[in-house]
């Protein structure tokens, strides 16, 4: 997820000061770190940057995707705020690119346009029963507890004992951890009050994290697994047979993968020390990876209205290491559960028919951020690469796009000869269409109220959950 961003020529933060501007939009749900990051490296004094965002609030994935119990990851907002307050950077929230303003209109107003709107679509599992009540995408579930306005009607039913998370990336582990975390830990985060109250009443005591391949191919990081292992009140419960042959393969693994695999091995099959054993005996909740499994069907309740379980195909691997492929064995197993959360990936969507788009890969075709066959059009973030990597990866990806843009300006590949009016032209169009943007100072009003509300209950902030409330405050 990311946000709309636009750069001007008044190159300074990537726009022209001569009245030409570059622009970058994101038609996903939020204004994200990929957009802000594209503004930062090697800022030039002859460039101006305007950022367009669909929501009234900035920061995209950092605000709505990062787990609430990872406040250190959100510290990057401090840097983004410095960018947003720069005199050569403009923020225009509440503007939906592709709907309120077209990409072609942005190109007419700016010397360059950078698209950075992330991956808003969910990848379908393509199995029977995935539309049953009790089945959610990880994107929507994360959006629910993180305060994304479009996800506030989710109201997940947490009355079951077992939840199954499909996928073994960091987001999958975030979801599992939030489901099992002690409420006293979550009370100190910026998780929404509605989600906190729902989790207080939750009956979920067991979370299985399912992946089609094995321990050596798992997609999460050692930090995320360590957090699960050390989660108070929860113990790991895994199948030792899933780790057959893994110890012997350790010597050939690269160091990061080896550390991760050793941690999982220890949690799965080694007897804990006496102190850890006592802690495990007292744990009322459990979690575990289930490897070599693929979803076949979500099983319905007797009345056919909601989730009662999931059928998993048992796989074997062909090949080794990262290249190993999961192959069906013909065996299946059923797991009783009332909650299924699919974390199998996201995909970018086309926001404007004028933008080149590879529907199979769900990205904008590009070379180092330069959109192919579209002079003056650039992209960054997951729209550029697909949904891979963490925030640091996305930032480096955005820096590359920014470098490509500056190179094109310096080499003359980007036409800077025309006088472009940038935000002036776009805001005139928005006014005629009765669209009122939210400025960065408007966002700061929202920010002050959210932090004040949170501070009164010991939280870093209490997020506003509706666009209407955000707009009412921002426009005061």
Q: Which domains does the chain have, with CATH numbers?
A: 5-120+347-438 (3.40.50.720), 124-344 (3.50.50.60)
Handedness of CA 167, 173, 178, 179 (dihedral sign): positive
| Residues 200-207, mean pLDDT to the nearest whole number | 98
Top-confidence residue, 13 or 292: 292
What pLDDT is attached to residue 271? Answer: 64
The two tokens of residue 206 are 């067991």
28 has pLDDT over 70 = no
User: Which residue is listed with tokens 């970018």?
Assistant: 348
What pLDDT is attached to residue 42? Answer: 44
Region of poorest pLDDT, from 66-70, 119-123, 401-405: 119-123
The two tokens of residue 432 are 């005629």
What pLDDT is attached to residue 35? Answer: 46
Tell me the residue ranges of DSSP E strands in 186-291: 206-210, 234-236, 285-290
| Residues 22-39, mean pLDDT to the nearest whole number | 36
Quick check: 332 and 295 in contact, CB under 8 A?
A: no
* 234-288 per-position pLDDT tens digit: 999 999 999 999 999 999 999 999 999 999 999 998 766 666 777 778 889 999 9
Region of poorest pLDDT, from 114-128, 165-179, 182-196: 114-128
Q: Is 105 left (phi over 0), alpha (psi -120 to 50) or beta?
A: alpha
Region of poorest pLDDT, from 106-110, 171-175, 332-336: 106-110
DSSP state at residue 329: E
Output phi, psi for 311, to 5 deg.
-95, 130
Quick check: 268 and 238 in contact, CB under 8 A?
A: yes
Cα distances (angstroms) measured from residue 284 to each of 69, 124, 140, 272: 21, 33, 27, 17
**Helix-, strand-, coil-residue percentages of the chain, each rounded to 5:** 35, 25, 40
pLDDT band, residue 24 (cuts 50/70/90): very low
Q: Write out the H or E segment, with its range, that includes residue 142.
A: helix 138-146
DSSP state at residue 73: G
How many angstroms separate the most distant Cα atoms in the chain? 74
User: Which residue is listed with tokens 């800077």?
Assistant: 416
3-state secondary structure of 374: coil
179 has pLDDT over 70 = yes
């Amino acid at each position: 997820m990311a946000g709309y961003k636009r750069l001007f020529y008044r190159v300074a933060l990537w726009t022209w000061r001569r009245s030409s501007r570059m622009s970058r939009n994101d038609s996903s749900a939020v204004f994200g770190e990929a957009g802000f990051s594209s503004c930062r490296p090697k800022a030039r004094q002859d460039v101006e940057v305007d950022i367009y965002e669909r929501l009234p609030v900035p920061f995209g994935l950092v605000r709505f995707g990062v787990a609430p119990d990872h406040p250190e990851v959100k510290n990057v907002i401090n840097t983004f705020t410095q960018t947003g307050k720069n005199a050569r950077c403009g923020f225009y929230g509440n503007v939906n690119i592709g709907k309120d303003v077209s990409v072609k209109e942005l190109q007419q107003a700016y010397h360059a346009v950078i698209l950075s709107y992330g991956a808003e679509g969910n990848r379908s599992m393509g199995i029977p029963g995935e539309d049953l009540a009790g089945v959610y995408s990880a994107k929507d579930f994360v959006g629910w507890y993180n305060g994304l306005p479009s996800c506030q009607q989710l109201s997940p039913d947490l009355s079951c004992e077992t939840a199954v998370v499909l996928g073994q990336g960091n987001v999958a582990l975030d979801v599992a951890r939030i489901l099992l975390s002690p409420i006293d830990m979550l009370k100190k985060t910026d998780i929404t009050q509605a989600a906190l109250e729902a989790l207080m009443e939750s009956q979920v005591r067991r979370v299985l994290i399912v992946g089609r391949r094995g321990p050596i191919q798992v997609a999460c990081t050692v930090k995320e697994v360590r957090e699960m292992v050390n989660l108070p009140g929860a113990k790991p419960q895994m199948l030792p047979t899933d780790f057959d042959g893994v110890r012997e393969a350790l010597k050939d693994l690269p160091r990061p993968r080896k550390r991760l695999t050793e941690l999982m091995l220890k949690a799965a099959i080694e007897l804990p020390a006496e102190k850890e054993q006592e802690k495990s005996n007292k744990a009322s909740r459990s979690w575990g990876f289930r490897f070599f499994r693929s979803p076949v069907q979500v099983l319905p309740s007797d009345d056919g209205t909601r989730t009662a379980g999931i059928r998993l195909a048992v796989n074997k691997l062909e090949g080794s290491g990262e290249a190993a492929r999961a192959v069906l064995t013909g065996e299946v197993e059923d797991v009783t559960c009332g909650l299924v959360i699919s974390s199998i990936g996201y995909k970018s969507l086309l926001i404007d028919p004028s933008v080149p788009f590879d529907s199979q890969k769900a990205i904008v075709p590009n070379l180092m951020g330069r959109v192919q066959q579209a002079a003056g059009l650039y992209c960054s973030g997951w729209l550029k690469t697909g949904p891979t990597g963490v925030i640091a990866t996305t930032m480096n990806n955005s820096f590359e796009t920014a470098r490509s843009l500056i190179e094109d300006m310096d080499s003359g590949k980007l036409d800077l000869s025309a006088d472009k009016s940038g935000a002036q032209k776009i805001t005139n169009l928005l006014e005629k269409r009765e669209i009122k943007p939210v400025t960065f100072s408007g966002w700061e009003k929202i920010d002050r109220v959210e932090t004040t509300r949170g501070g009164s209950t010991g939280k870093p902030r209490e997020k506003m959950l509706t666009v209407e409330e955000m707009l009412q405050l921002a426009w005061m």
